[in-house]
Amino acid sequence: MILTVTLNPCIDLLLGTRGLLPYDTNRVVTREEDAGGKGTNLSRVAAELGAKTTACVLLGGGTGAHVQRVLELQGVTPAIVHTQAQTRVNVSVQDGSDRPPTTFNMKGGPITGDEWQQVTRMVVELAAEADWVCLGGSLPEGIPVDAWRTLIGLLRPLPVRILLDADDEPLRLGLEAGPHLIKPNLNEASRLLGRPIAGVEQAASAAIEIRSAMAARGAADPAVIVSMGAEGAVAATGEGSFFAPPVAVHPRSTIGSGDSLLGGLLAAFGHGKDWPEALRWGSAAGAATATTDGTEIARRGVVEELLTRATVRRLP
């Protein structure tokens, strides 16, 4: 089972307009909304690909109830800590061009101390049935900056693999506790190492460097994926280093593509695939999500079609 933990879930609301005029009235011509957040997106894709997955989420109010319904409809089992604060709504505006949408992300929270303690107890309890525990996304107001480090410390004694997908200080602190897998993008990897990273060669070197640091902190068989958007992804693993070139598609929206890569990867691990093949699944899932409109996720049929074109090669 794949357990995801999303402390700051949301409704992703995408509004379509014909052009975008600042300081003026813009008429909405299309509207789409889905459950959002790194862990929830990962769970949605993994479920679409046949994996059993539970999403531990902090949800409150009518928006939280909507997130719960979306997860259930898409085959994800929600494990809910109910909050006094209403679940946030992130708004993106697509102006009808081929450019990325303009996005407005709310902060989320505040979360009470008791609600946070409920999360820690729930995660440890659910992890007893999990193969992977996936921690990711931003932190709402009220959640301590070392939340991921705390959860990883509680999970390390258990026979479970831990994925961390975060940024900035929460990522740096989380790494101290020894997760098994992280997936920074180029910008996140650059911030982590304190230098600019661009291109396959630099990304691969960065992944190896970060993996070595994780091993030095005691992580068992660590792995690092650096996602590069339209350039593909590289991975440094115990089986070697690999490059997944981008699958040629006509992208419509990149929202959730990185989360979809991880959903495809972990679903493949659940089917007994090795690292190169699992990375190929992840590459196909990420590309499939990029072909969807707005906040939609990859569909199994599209992933299976793209798998016929997805490749992975070993790096020296």
Tell me what pLDDT residue 256 has.
Answer: 86
pLDDT tens sequence for the chain (316 residues): 999 999 999 999 999 999 999 999 999 999 999 999 999 999 999 999 999 999 999 999 999 999 999 999 999 999 999 999 999 999 999 998 888 789 999 999 999 999 999 999 999 999 999 999 999 999 999 999 999 999 999 999 999 999 999 999 999 999 999 999 999 999 999 999 999 999 999 999 999 999 999 999 889 999 999 999 889 999 999 999 999 999 989 887 777 899 999 999 999 999 999 999 999 999 999 999 999 877 788 899 999 999 999 999 999 8
**Cα–Cα distance between 279 and 312 in angstroms, integer?**
7
Planar angle of CA 18, 20, 26, nearest 5 degrees: 75
**Cα–Cα distance between 305 and 4 in angstroms, integer?**
27
Is 289 in contact with 297 (CB distance < 8 Å)? Answer: yes
Tell me what pLDDT residue 255 has.
Answer: 79
Sheet of strand 77-82: strand arrangement: 77-82, 53-59, 2-6, 132-136, 161-165, 181-182, 223-227, 233-237, 240-244, 313-315
Of 299, 278, 226, 288, which Cα lies nearest the Cα of 255?
288
Residue 225: CB partners within 8 Å, gap ≥ 6?
181, 182, 183, 207, 233, 234, 235, 261, 262, 265, 279, 282
Tell me what pLDDT residue 253 has.
Answer: 76
Tell me what pLDDT residue 5 has.
Answer: 99
Strand partners, 92: 14, 103
Of 226, 259, 292, which Cα lies nearest the Cα of 37?
259
So where are the chain's domains?
2-315
Neighbours of 112 (CB within 10 A): 13
Is 67 in contact with 44 (CB distance < 8 Å)? Answer: no
Tell me what pLDDT residue 295 has.
Answer: 75
Of 312, 164, 159, which Cα lies nearest the Cα of 240?
312
Of 20, 27, 24, which Cα lies nearest the Cα of 94?
20
Q: What are 138's two structure tokens?
A: 């931003």
Classify residue 306 by burial, with Cβ atoms within 10 Å: 0-12, 13-18, 19+. Answer: buried
Tell me what pLDDT residue 86 has.
Answer: 98
Classify residue 131 by burial, with Cβ atoms within 10 Å: 0-12, 13-18, 19+. Answer: middle
Backbone angles phi, psi at 241, to 5 degrees: -105, 145
Q: Which CATH number fits domain 2-315: 3.40.1190.20, 3.40.50.620, 1.10.275.10, 3.30.470.20?
A: 3.40.1190.20
Tell me what pLDDT residue 250 has.
Answer: 85
Planar angle of CA 112, 117, 121, nearest 5 degrees: 150
**Cα–Cα distance between 266 and 93 in angstroms, integer?**
31
Of 16, 13, 12, which Cα lies nearest the Cα of 97?
16
